[in-house]
Structure 1
Amino acid sequence: MKLICSCESLKGETMRRVWRISLEFSAYYLSFYLCRYSVLPLLPSIAAEVGLSYGQLAASISMLYAGYALALTPSGLAAAAVGAWRLLLGSAAVTVLANLLLALARDWITISLLLFVNGLAQGAAWPSLMQAVAVEFRGSDVDYVVGAMLTAALFGPSAAFLLASLVMYVANWRVAFVASAAPLAALSPVIAAGRRGRRGEPRGEALGAVKRLAIWLLGMAYACHYALLRGLLSWLPTMLVEVEGLEPPTASLLSGAVPLASACIAVVGALLSRRTSPWSVIALSFAAAALLTTYSLATGLSAAVATAVILALSLSEWLYFTQLPQLLPPREVGLASGLVDTLGYAGSSLGTMLLASAVEGKCPAGAVLIPLAGLSAAVALRLRGPGGDMDFRRRRVC
């Protein structure tokens, strides 16, 4: 009886710790998002005061995203070489500094350069956090921690817009940059003081992740996933206005509700993956997307079909990253996460362009080919059995 009570007490204590760290990590990752998207709601004010054209602003924003995408994979290597926590806290310091300097910027070159540096620093955060999770957690605990961070990411843009709006009611856009950096600056010392380094951070060769064919297949599936998900979400407000005839504020409100529904469905997908396998859920989400987009060949791509595709793909939203800490040596997780995320961003850019023709009703073929390509990658992952370069049916490969 004492042994049973002891085990139950230990399990309860472990779960409390998992939930506490999930909250801490998700809040910390959300604070990075506040700094990443802080510039977007400020664009009209920056354009008016600094005297920039919308073309110049667009180029500056592109520098932010380019820096982020460029940093992801090298940061995975750096996290294995110098340690995830050192890289994470360093990226936080650079992010805060870049946002504070943006508050002082007075010309286009300075704004573009600081946004690029901000993107580079932000790109180091995700691989570092993933490697830190891989070192500290095992099994289903990873689902809670990584899922919490991904859920925070879904709310990140909305939180950044809300914070900037509140600040601009009482101050100007320069103060909004400072306010956006404040949560990250405040949380970093707290996170540093309670760093989870008790097991030690593995150092050494991380390139093994690049040599695993399964990682590239997973990245291909994620690229297709993001191409459809972000591509359709980007075009959804336009479709609601031009096809459904809604007013822009109403279209914006309805479009903003879709990510909230996606977050709920992602939880369902994570629970479903425990009864089947994550790769089966990924394949199921792509199969549903393929059927819906094939149906749109006959009816045209409507806002309702686009929303259904987004929600179907949301089933697998968490699964591309929750499995990596369970299946790879900790030293390889940062690089694998950075590589998969890089491919996802490449897919997002490509998908937005491909889906433009589908939205216009000219050539919907891209809306069908993308989920089919992702389905083939997911099936390949599912079929890779024992003996492959990574066996996805087992737990950690060391």
Structure 2
Amino acid sequence: MHLPVALPWIARDLGAGYGGLGIAVALFYTAYSIGLVINGVLGTWAPPWLLMAVGGVGSASLSIALSSVDDPVLFTVLWGVNGYLQSFAWPSLVKTASYILRGRGAEKGYAYLSTSWSLGHALVWLLSMWLVSSAGWRTCFVINGAILAAAASSIPPLLRGLEVGAVDGRGAAPRVREAALLALYTALVSAMHSASYGARHLLITYLPSYLEEARGSMAPSLLLPLAGSVGMVLLAPLFTRVGRERGPWVSAGLLLAAALLLWLFPQAYAVNAFAGLLLLAVLSAVIYGNEAQLTTSIPVAASGTRLSSLVAGVVDASGSLG
């Protein structure tokens, strides 16, 4: 998450424009997508804590190594490898949560769980803004890498004792049991997530630079993950109320609303900063709140716990491809 904040400095330091670094971002998401499917399969039998720890420590080590890179091509390749390493976490995290969050009201639990990455996103951006302006982007990569290494190292002692295998592998009685219907359901959810995730990461990647160039400060970009976290909590009761059968329909409606807001935001911001940021807050709440369910409760409702890491991996992979 620290790359978008450091992007203007990296572009100048390595002599690569936004277009060149855009290739690095695209390679990251491509590798991340492939890794999500691979690690989703691995998650059906490997201990979740092990996959999360391996990916976290690997990504942290690579972030630290990237701080010494001067060649834009090498930077692009290594950032792509980092995408694969980061893909270890999400499928295993969803599987772990699926054993704990079962039955009616699970949507709210998944929403609170999802705020971990949105609030973490905000904290990383806040720290990175200070680091790149005071110590440079290379120090930013080292510090963020060290923090991630410490966090990843804490996963085994925290989760190793969780006896997920003691729970019935069929999970919370999935509605869609037949393989063909599960595949169709996953494909439709994946298509929605591809559009939503693509829009969100368009904002994540370029919003700080856009605000910096438009009005001289990237600080308002923190509104994106913060308002998104609020949206996760606020929209969760809606998904609980409509039930898991109608959840995808609600998600589709929210996706259309997000598309309209995304179209309006830059036009409004060019005219009036306050109006633009207000639209950005609503847009963030809708996108993040919708994704919190698209990547957790909605796929788990179809797959059950046993295949939750695989289905969550496929859905999330479609998002990063978007």
> Under TM normalisation by the shorter chain, which class is it?
0.7 to 0.9
Measure the CA separation in 2 of the matches of 1:209 and 1:158.
39
Match of 2:73 among 106, 109, 130: 109
Match of 2:162 among 184, 190, 197: 197
TM-aligned CA distance change 1:144 to 1:56, over 3 Å: same
1:340 counterpart = 2:311: no
Q: Which one-letter code corresponds to 2:291 in the other structure? A: E
1:218 counterpart = 2:189: yes
Deviations 1:218-277 (A, max 9, x none): 222323444555568889899999xxxx95247x56564354334323322211222221
1:260 counterpart = 2:226: yes
TM-aligned CA distance change 1:338 to 1:164, over 3 Å: same
Whether the 8 Å CA contact 2:108–2:233 is kept in 1: the answer is no
Measure the CA separation in 2 of the matches of 1:286 and 1:169.
40
Measure the CA separation in 2 of the matches of 1:104 and 1:174.
7
Match of 1:161 among 125, 128, 135: 125
Measure the CA separation in 1 of the matches of 2:210 and 2:289.
23
What's the offset of the Cα at 1:91?
A: 0.7
Q: Secondary structure at the match of 1:88?
A: helix
TM-aligned CA distance change 1:339 to 1:155, over 3 Å: same
What's the offset of the Cα at 1:118?
A: 0.8
Q: Which one-letter code corresponds to 2:183 in the other structure? A: R
Runs of 5+ in structure 2 lacking a partner?
170-177, 269-274
What's the offset of the Cα at 1:84?
A: 1.9
TM-aligned CA distance change 1:290 to 1:149, over 3 Å: closer
TM-aligned CA distance change 1:214 to 1:127, over 3 Å: same
What's the offset of the Cα at 1:309?
A: 6.1
Q: Secondary structure at the match of 1:92?
A: helix
What's the offset of the Cα at 1:180?
A: 0.2
What's the offset of the Cα at 1:107?
A: 1.9
What's the offset of the Cα at 1:115?
A: 0.8
Measure the CA separation in 2 of the matches of 1:170 and 1:247.
22
Q: Which one-letter code corresponds to 2:321 in the other structure? A: A
Aligned residue number for residue 330 of structure 1: 305
Measure the CA separation in 1 of the matches of 2:14 and 2:257.
48
Match of 2:135 among 171, 191, 199: 171
What's the offset of the Cα at 1:339?
A: 0.8
Aligned residue number for residue 22 of structure 1: none
Aligned residue number for residue 378 of structure 1: none
Q: Secondary structure at the match of 1:118?
A: helix
Paired residues in the alignment total 304
Q: Which one-letter code corresponds to 1:331 in the other structure? A: R
Aligned residue number for residue 248 of structure 1: 215
Q: Which one-letter code corresponds to 1:219 in the other structure? A: S
TM-aligned CA distance change 1:109 to 1:314, over 3 Å: closer
Aligned residue number for residue 148 of structure 2: 184
Whether the 8 Å CA contact 2:122–2:226 is kept in 1: the answer is no
Q: Which has the higher contact order (CA 8 A, sep 6+)?
A: 2
Match of 1:318 among 276, 281, 292: 292
Measure the CA separation in 1 of the matches of 2:63 and 2:261.
46
Aligned residue number for residue 283 of structure 1: 249
Aligned residue number for residue 87 of structure 1: 51
Measure the CA separation in 2 of the matches of 1:48 and 1:238.
13
Whether the 8 Å CA contact 1:103–1:174 is kept in 2: the answer is yes
Q: CA RMSD in A?
A: 4.1
Measure the CA separation in 1 of the matches of 2:80 and 2:201.
22
Q: Secondary structure at the match of 2:163?
A: coil
TM-aligned CA distance change 1:178 to 1:140, over 3 Å: farther
Of residues 303-312 and 86-95 in structure 1, the stretch that sits farther from structure 2 once superposed is: 303-312
What's the offset of the Cα at 1:57?
A: 2.7
Deviations 1:315-368 (A, max 9, x none): 533222124445533231111011111222334xxxxxxxxxxxxxxxxxxxxx
Whether the 8 Å CA contact 1:219–1:340 is kept in 2: the answer is yes
1:97 counterpart = 2:61: yes
What's the offset of the Cα at 1:55?
A: 4.0
Measure the CA separation in 1 of the matches of 2:4 and 2:205.
15
Deviations 1:58-109 (A, max 9, x none): 3223222222122111110011132322211111121111112112223223
* Percent identical residues: 24
